[in-house]
């Protein structure tokens, strides 16, 4: 286990350049998904907020450039109700339509085709759920839906189990990002599966983002220290007592975790090792 | 209003309006002819921010003016709302 968790040492290239720490983790180290370049490695959901205004403020505070959105029926009884796009602009953020709530491949494909028509975006997040209690993904349906979507011209980021074999299958059929859960959606339990996440990260040639389970800032940092390319979260920010403060915390945690990963952590020892030289001791 | 009265009004409306269209799961009655664009206008929905499915097939925005609705059509009108993982 120690070997599996031991973090990679960086290439010299990654250590060169900017001395400004924030810039090093962003400008010179972009997140690239399906050819699109992002400086933030934090993706946030837009559900569960008190209102769209708070949602917009949290998005701003988090520094996120991508937000996930859901596709739902227009409320016919109140068509003039506030709309998400009036607060969180698709001009400013990359909208990532997701299929949260879909339990079959057909529902997911239908939802994303509508999303593409509404927004004109082909980058999407596929999520096919298999169980209402755990919201665990149904992987056979996920694979089938991913294939349908890719054949239909979509660029598919995919919510998946933490099984490295499933992750590899999804990558092989052409998914542009692999998004395993760290713990059940909305649970806030933190990264319960660091070994599996690490195995997926080591084998993947496309970005790996932890998609669910983060509860607080240290969880996001753990995900990034494992070598993930990014983190997606919703509830951890939206259900914090102060969502804006938590959004800022998450922004820093993702940057800190990324930099710690790039820096390459020290080896763990069983016993103490003095930090001051022993030579010349009086 | 009692259920009976509502039922009577509905059947009265049905008698006058030629088409029953199911919009987002609700039965609505309209006079023919009616385009998708006309439907949106009568529902008070701006067309730019929505996507529309007619009998499970997506209607491209460019066809909103030209596609006419028929009795029994099932229409879904969706848009983006807040949502997470």
Looking at beta carbons, which residues of chain A come within 8 Å of B24? Answer: 73-74, 76
Check residue B47 and give its pLDDT: 78
pLDDT band of residue B83 (cuts 50, 70, 90) is confident
Closest CA to A100 of A206, A220, A223, A234: A234
Which of A68, A74, A76 lies nearest to residue B83, judging by beta carbons? A68
- Report the C-alpha gap between A202 and A199 in whole angstroms: 5
- Report the C-alpha gap between A196 and A191 in whole angstroms: 10
- Report the C-alpha gap between A200 and A34 in whole angstroms: 18
Min CA distance, A172 vs chain B (Å)? Answer: 23
User: A92, A125, A205, A241: which is the annotated catalytic residue?
Assistant: A125
**Rounded-to-5 percentages of helix, strand, coil across chain A:** 40, 15, 45
Min CA distance, B51 vs chain A (Å)? Answer: 4
For A25, phi then psi, to 5°, come to -85, -5
Minimal Cα distance from A118: which residue of B?
B51
- Mean pLDDT, 10 residues at a time, chain A of 282 residues: 41 40 62 95 92 92 94 87 87 92 91 90 94 94 95 96 97 97 95 97 97 96 97 95 97 97 95 89 86
Q: What is the number of CB-based contacts under 8 A between chain A and chain B?
A: 113
Query: Which is more confident, B1 or A272?
Result: A272
Which of A46, A117, A212 lies nearest to residue B58, judging by beta carbons? A117
As for the ipTM of the complex, it is 0.81
List A residues 225-264 in contact with B (Cβ-Cβ < 8 A). Answer: 232-235, 238
Q: pLDDT tens, B28-71?
A: 999 989 999 999 999 998 877 899 999 999 999 899 999 999 99
Residue A225 makes CB contacts below 8 A (sequence gap 6+) with: A7, A257, A260, A261, A265
- ∠ CA A153-A107-A45 to the nearest 5 degrees? 80
Which of B24, B78, B85 lies nearest to residue A71, judging by beta carbons? B78
Check residue A9 and give its pLDDT: 37
Show the beta-strand stretches assigned E in chain A: 31-33, 36-38, 42-45, 66-73, 94-97, 123-126, 155-160, 177-180, 209-210, 230-233
Closest CA to A44 of B72, B83, B78, B1: B83
Contact (CB, 8 A) for A52 and A69: no
- Report the C-alpha gap between A231 and A220 in whole angstroms: 7
Show the beta-strand stretches assigned E in A163-204: 177-180
pLDDT band of residue B11 (cuts 50, 70, 90) is low
Minimal Cα distance from B83: which residue of A?
A47
pLDDT over 80 at B13, yes or no: no
Token pair listed for A89: 């602009």
Minimal Cα distance from A101: which residue of B?
B85
Check residue A28 and give its pLDDT: 83
Check residue A19 and give its pLDDT: 40
Cβ separation B78–A73 shorter than 8 A? yes
- Report the C-alpha gap between A275 and A130 in whole angstroms: 51
Contact (CB, 8 A) for A98 and B82: no
What string of DSSP letters covers A137-169?
B-HHHHHHHHHHHHHTT-EEEEEE-S-HHHHHH
Q: Taking phi first (over 0 means left), then psi (-120 to 50 degrees means alpha), and beta for anything else, what does residue A153 get? A: left
On the question of a cis peptide bond just before residue B33, with omega within 30 degrees of 0, the verdict is: yes
Determine whether A125 is an active site residue: yes
Closest CA to A39 of A94, A120, A96, A86: A94
Would an 8 Å CB–CB cutoff place A86 in contact with chain B? no
β-strands A155-160, A123-126 pairing: parallel
- Report the C-alpha gap between B73 and A195 in whole angstroms: 52
Which of B23, B56, B80 lies nearest to residue A118, judging by beta carbons? B80
- ∠ CA A191-A33-A40 to the nearest 5 degrees? 65
């Amino acid at each position: 286990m120690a070997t599996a968790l031991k973090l990679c040492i960086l290439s010299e290239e990654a250590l060169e350049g900017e001395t400004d720490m924030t810039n090093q983790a962003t400008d010179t180290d972009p997140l690239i998904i399906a050819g699109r370049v992002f400086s933030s490695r934090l993706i946030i959901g837009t559900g569960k907020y008190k209102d769209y205004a708070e949602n917009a403020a949290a998005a701003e505070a988090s520094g996120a450039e991508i937000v996930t959105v859901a596709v739902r029926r227009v409320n016919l009884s109140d068509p003039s109700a506030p709309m998400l796009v009036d607060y969180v602009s698709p001009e400013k953020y990359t909208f990532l339509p997701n299929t949260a709530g879909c339990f079959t491949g057909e529902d997911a494909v239908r939802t994303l085709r509508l999303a593409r028509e509404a927004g004109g975006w082909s980058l999407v997040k596929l999520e096919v759920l298999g169980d209402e209690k755990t919201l665990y993904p149904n992987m056979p349906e996920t694979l089938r839906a991913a294939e349908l979507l890719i054949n239909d011209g979509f660029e598919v980021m995919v919510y998946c189990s933490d099984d490295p074999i499933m992750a590899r299958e999804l990558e092989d059929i052409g998914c542009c990002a692999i998004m395993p859960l760290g713990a059940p959606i909305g649970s806030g339990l933190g990264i319960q599966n660091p070994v599996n996440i690490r195995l997926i990260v080591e084998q993947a040639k496309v970005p790996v983002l932890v998609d669910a389970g983060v509860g607080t800032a240290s969880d996001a940092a753990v995900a990034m220290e494992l070598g993930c390319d990014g983190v997606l979260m919703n509830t951890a920010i939206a259900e914090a007592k102060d969502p804006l403060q938590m959004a800022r915390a998450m922004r820093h945690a993702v940057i800190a975790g990324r930099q710690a990963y790039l820096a390459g952590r020290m080896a763990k020892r069983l016993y103490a090792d003095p930090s001051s030289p022993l030579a010349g001791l009086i | 209003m009692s259920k009976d009265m509502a039922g009577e009004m509905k059947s009265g409306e049905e008698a006058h309006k030629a088409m029953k269209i199911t919009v987002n799961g609700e039965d609505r009655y309209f006079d023919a002819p009616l385009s998708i664009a006309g439907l949106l206008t009568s529902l008070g929905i701006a067309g730019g921010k929505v996507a529309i499915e007619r009998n499970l097939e997506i209607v491209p925005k460019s066809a909103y003016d030209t596609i006419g609705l028929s009795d029994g059509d099932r229409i879904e009108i969706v848009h983006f709302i807040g949502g997470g993982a």
